[in-house]
């Protein structure tokens, strides 16, 4: 899937930067569907053909001066529509959602590329990035979802979803960034779950989905597996014999099912 890999990484990068610029330069709400007309052949970012509207936006992006993006106006609002937050100084953020798979090489490329985008000065603090996971709900499967790369990928998806769920409003510990040469998978501009995903990709991606490996990666990015609530969410997903018990696992399986169903409903498969 080399052409899809290139399209996914490049278009996602361009669109995120373009929308961040758009949100910074205007106080009016921008609707993604209105701004980028999606043709029947363009399945969000996983496209073979690119709509005229998206091609036009790419040209706009190429014309921008990325070194001189405008500063955020303190009067800008956050959230959907024009509903103002209680604190008017809060910066409005662009919601970005990636449809990925924990053991997919294309997804790893996309996540790595987007990490470079979010590491651009001032960008990370202006986006809410969430990850959703592709699969097909099927109660006959071990985890209630059929994943393209097997049960181990489903386990990896659950682990990443649980870390995302329980660290979304957290920040990466400053102590992790004190080293003069911090680990390449650490991104202080985003919540810990994104660094957790990058750590799984970077340290040894062949082990993604393994429960012990997930715990190791969580420790590497400063996430307390037990205290954060991740352990209860994951249960023993990634072990040899997965089952929902009183020690956990139900929340993670529900998150996986909801994520897969959401993307399936959007025709992202």
pLDDT digits (tens, 9 = 90+) for 44-79: 443 333 334 444 444 444 555 555 555 544 333 333
CB 45, CB 143: distance < 8 Å? no
Model's pTM, two decimal places? 0.69
More confident residue, 61 or 145: 145
DSSP symbols for 136-184: EE-TTSTTSEE-TT-HHHHHHHHHHHHHHHHHTT----GGGG-SSS--T
Q: What pLDDT is stored for residue 27 in this prediction?
A: 41
What's the mean pLDDT in 258-268?
Answer: 91
Q: What pLDDT is stored for residue 75 in this prediction?
A: 36
Q: What pLDDT is stored for residue 177 in this prediction?
A: 79
pLDDT tens track for 211-226: 999 999 999 999 999 9
pLDDT tens track for 177-212: 787 778 889 988 888 999 999 999 999 999 999 999
More confident residue, 93 or 132: 132
């Amino acid at each position: 899937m080399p052409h899809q890999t290139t399209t996914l990484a490049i278009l996602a990068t361009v669109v995120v930067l373009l929308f961040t610029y758009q949100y910074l330069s205007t106080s009016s709400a921008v609707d993604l569907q209105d701004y980028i007309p999606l043709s029947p052949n363009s399945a969000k970012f996983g496209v073979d053909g690119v709509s005229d509207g998206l091609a036009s936006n790419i040209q706009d992006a190429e014309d921008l001066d990325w070194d001189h993006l405008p500063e955020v106006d303190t009067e800008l609002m956050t959230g959907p529509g024009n509903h103002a937050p209680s604190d008017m100084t809060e910066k409005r953020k662009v919601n970005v959602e990636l449809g990925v798979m924990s053991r997919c090489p294309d997804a790893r490329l996309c996540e790595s590329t987007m990490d470079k985008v979010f590491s651009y000065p001032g960008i990370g603090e202006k986006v809410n990035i969430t990850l959703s996971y592709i699969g097909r709900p099927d109660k006959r499967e071990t985890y209630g979802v059929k994943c393209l790369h097997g049960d181990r990928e489903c386990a990896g998806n659950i682990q990443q979803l649980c870390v995302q769920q329980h660290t979304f409003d957290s920040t990466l510990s400053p102590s992790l960034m004190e080293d003069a040469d911090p680990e390449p998978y650490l991104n202080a501009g985003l919540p810990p779950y994104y660094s957790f995903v990058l750590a799984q990709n970077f340290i040894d991606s062949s082990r993604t989905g393994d429960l012990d490996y997930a715990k190791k990666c969580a420790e590497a990015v400063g996430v307390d597996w037990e205290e954060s609530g991740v352990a209860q969410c994951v249960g023993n997903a990634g072990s040899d014999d997965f089952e929902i018990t009183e020690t956990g696992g139900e929340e993670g399986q529900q998150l996986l099912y909801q994520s897969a169903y959401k993307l399936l409903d959007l025709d992202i498969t």
